[in-house]
Amino acid sequence: MQVHFDTLIIGSGLAGLTLALNLANTQKVAIVTKRTLLDSASSWAQGGIAAALSTEDSPDKHIQDTLIAGAGLCDTAITKYVVEQGPAAIQWLISQQVDFTKDAQNETGYHLTREGGHSVRRVIHINDATGQAVQLALIRQTQAHKNISIFENHIAVDLITNKKLLANPLNQLNRCHGAYILDIKSDKIITFSAQNTVLATGGAGKVYLYTTNPDTATGDGIAMGWRAGCRVANMEFIQFHPTCLYHPHAKSFLISEAVRGEGGLLKLPNGERFMPSHDERAELAPRDIVARAIDFEMKKRGLDCVYLDISHKPISFLKQHFPTIYSRCLDFGIDITKQPIPVVPAAHYMCGGIITDQNGMTDLNNLYAIGETAFTGLHGANRLASNSLLECLVFGMASAKHILDQPNQESAALPDWDASRVTDADEEVVISHNWDELRRFMWNYVGIVRTNKRLERAQHRVKLLHEEINEYYTNFRVTGDLLELRNLVTTANLIIQCAMQRHESRGLHSSRDYPNTSSELKNTILQGRGAVGNHLSY
């Protein structure tokens, strides 16, 4: 079965929906998502969106805060571009009926909060459930649009490029023609032909044992782009969110950065604060510093967790500003108005990804990457809090403009997926076992603090897993679980390769063997195999 669209968007987070809505007035658009439109990391974002909106703020201040957090590796031109587009991006969301939290006392008319690494209050939000509220508003617009087709419970198998179409693709201009997509419910693989294909699949938090990410965050877009020949960069910079709720039944529940921004204090079990001894900014230091401080205190003292205390604030304030956190913690017997919240660091965000330009273009013609899947140069070695949703908006709009400016191209004849030489798997337990092994050794060996020995062990393990899974993929019919595991192993390998190449400690990459920060500023770039296309310069 084959279907054709002007633009195929793989992923349904904020970047993908923003792009779709900015294309759909003149294009036929397909959105492919593994579960439902609401199942994305964007929906889980609590804090908000950073933008210079008030008179006490300015683009220059926002740029400077971003550059400081990025530890020398932010692309200054991209940072300036994204920050300057911020206010317009927020106005676009307001035009889409996104109802941000109001504050009559603020000149902007909206409540702005402050998070770690920000010098002023600039994070616009919807209480403590910004991502979900924004997504719901855009989903309503998306579902109502006649030119947008939605394919839920569909997972991408791989991209279709010239390498798959031509017997001898050498010296041919490589481009993307679409993707093979598995309908999870019917087990049928559909050929999606498209003028342009966009990877907006989010990050790969599920490569780690502990993560704030949803189950869908399995590095699909990064792995597919790499296999198609795209370069990737800075995969070693994994942001571990300092404060994930520590409870045996609280799966991946994030305690927003805004809790610390509004006065929450990190404490040891005896009630003693520890952040002032790690950084002069204390609880408002950037995430990498706070996460390492918590990791240090836990290992030094043999603790299972530390505590985040905001119980000194008025009850009415907490219920108004953090209704989701208040309610969820109460479900687990924790009353944040009376007691501190047990927290641990967890894998949260990838600062690296597929290399793109200011328009979201990758190394392959007609292939774009936006959102957490992409490496734009905005985040450097450490993302500033609440810049991620801003990046999704800005590059979703930029990619839409670039796509609309391109001339139509003749569609190539695409071959159907060939499953004639595979059989049903007889040992699916292999998938669950390998998934568990991968996540555990990535947590233990490629976590918050790394060593050469740990990375070598991880590299050895991932090589064995890669060989086993490729053999499985070659011989058996694909399933959603197999595709996710295959992508996770590929992404894990890229993270390990990048980490082994960085011989310093910078931002989110902390190495005991290389504790100092080098004076040389460079990105870690891994070359894709066989990509002949745009040849972006970095």
Q: Which 3-state string (H, E, C) describes 344-374? A: EEEEEEECCEEECCCCCECCCECEEECHHHE
pLDDT at 252: 78
**C-alpha dihedral (511, 64, 116, 538), degrees to nearest 10:** -40
Active site residues: 287
Angular region, 225: left φ>0, alpha ψ -120 to 50, beta rest: alpha
- Report how far residue 169's alpha carbon sits from residue 225's, in angstroms, rounded to the nearest whole number: 17
* pLDDT tens, position by position, 296-335: 899 889 999 999 999 999 999 999 999 999 999 999 999 9
Going across the sheet that includes 232-233, the strands are: 374-375, 353-355, 232-233, 525-526
* pLDDT tens, position by position, 368-401: 999 999 999 999 999 998 999 999 999 999 999 9
* pLDDT tens, position by position, 88-115: 999 999 999 999 999 999 999 999 998 8
- Report how far residue 505's alpha carbon sits from residue 514's, in angstroms, rounded to the nearest whole number: 6
Residue the block writes with tokens 């502990």: 210
| Structural tokens at position 53 | 């909106």
How many other C-beta atoms can be found within 10 angstroms of the C-beta atom of residue 147? 14
Mean pLDDT of the 329-354 span = 96
Q: Do residues 71 and 507 make contact, with C-beta atoms less than 8 angstroms apart? A: yes
- Report how far residue 492's alpha carbon sits from residue 431's, in angstroms, rounded to the nearest whole number: 16
pLDDT at 429: 76
With 90 as the cut, is the pLDDT of residue 418 above it?
no
Q: Do residues 283 and 290 make contact, with C-beta atoms less than 8 angstroms apart? A: yes
Query: Quick one: 215 exposed, middle or buried, by C-beta within 10 A (0-12, 13-18, 19+)?
Result: middle
Outline where 346-451 has alpha helix (H): 387-405, 429-445
- Report how far residue 63's alpha carbon sits from residue 522's, in angstroms, rounded to the nearest whole number: 20
Q: Do residues 462 and 525 make contact, with C-beta atoms less than 8 angstroms apart? A: no
Give the three-class secondary structure for 98: coil
Considering the entire predicted model, what is its pTM?
A: 0.91
pLDDT at 299: 84
pLDDT at 172: 65
With 50 as the cut, is the pLDDT of residue 536 above it?
no
Residues 6+ apart with CB under 8 A from 410: none
pLDDT at 420: 77
| Amino acid identity at 202 | G
* pLDDT tens, position by position, 158-175: 999 987 776 555 556 789
With 90 as the cut, is the pLDDT of residue 269 above it?
yes
Mean pLDDT of the 441-468 span = 94
| Structural tokens at position 72 | 């020398």
- Report how far residue 96's alpha carbon sits from residue 211's, in angstroms, rounded to the nearest whole number: 31
Where is pLDDT greater, at 481 or 418? Answer: 481
| Structural tokens at position 44 | 């889980």
Confidence of residue 25 (pLDDT cuts 50, 70, 90): very high
**Residue 361's beta-bridge partner residues?**
368
Q: Which domains does the chain have, with CATH numbers?
A: 2-45+127-236+351-405 (3.50.50.60), 243-348 (3.90.700.10), 429-518 (1.20.58.100)
* pLDDT tens, position by position, 110-132: 999 988 889 999 999 998 889 99
With 60 as the cut, is the pLDDT of residue 190 above it?
yes
In degrees and rounded to multiples of 5, residue 158 shows phi and psi of: -165, 160
Angular region, 11: left φ>0, alpha ψ -120 to 50, beta rest: left
What is the pLDDT of the chain when averaged over all its residues?
Answer: 92
Residues 6+ apart with CB under 8 A from 481: 428, 431, 432, 435
Measured between alpha carbons, how far is residue 41 from residues 126, 145, 228, 373, 534 in Å? 16, 23, 24, 12, 29
Q: Which of 19-23, 253-257, 302-306, 345-349 has the lowest mean pLDDT?
A: 253-257
Residues 6+ apart with CB under 8 A from 297: 268, 274, 303, 306
Q: Is residue 14 within a helix (H) or strand (E), and if so which, with residue range?
A: helix 14-23
Mean pLDDT of the 437-465 span = 95
Mean pLDDT of the 239-245 span = 92
pLDDT at 24: 98
In degrees and rounded to multiples of 5, residue 78 shows phi and psi of: -65, -40
Q: Do residues 252 and 244 make contact, with C-beta atoms less than 8 angstroms apart? A: yes
With 70 as the cut, is the pLDDT of residue 529 above it?
no
With 50 as the cut, is the pLDDT of residue 533 above it?
no
pLDDT at 251: 75
* pLDDT tens, position by position, 75-86: 999 999 999 999
Nearest-CA neighbor of 219 among 344, 371, 366?
371
Mean pLDDT of the 211-236 span = 96
Confidence of residue 531 (pLDDT cuts 50, 70, 90): very low
With 90 as the cut, is the pLDDT of residue 153 above it?
yes
Where is pLDDT greater, at 136 or 170? Answer: 136
| Structural tokens at position 31 | 């959105």
Residue the block writes with tokens 């968007």: 9
Residues 6+ apart with CB under 8 A from 197: 7, 8, 10, 159, 176, 177, 178, 179, 366, 367, 368
pLDDT at 170: 52
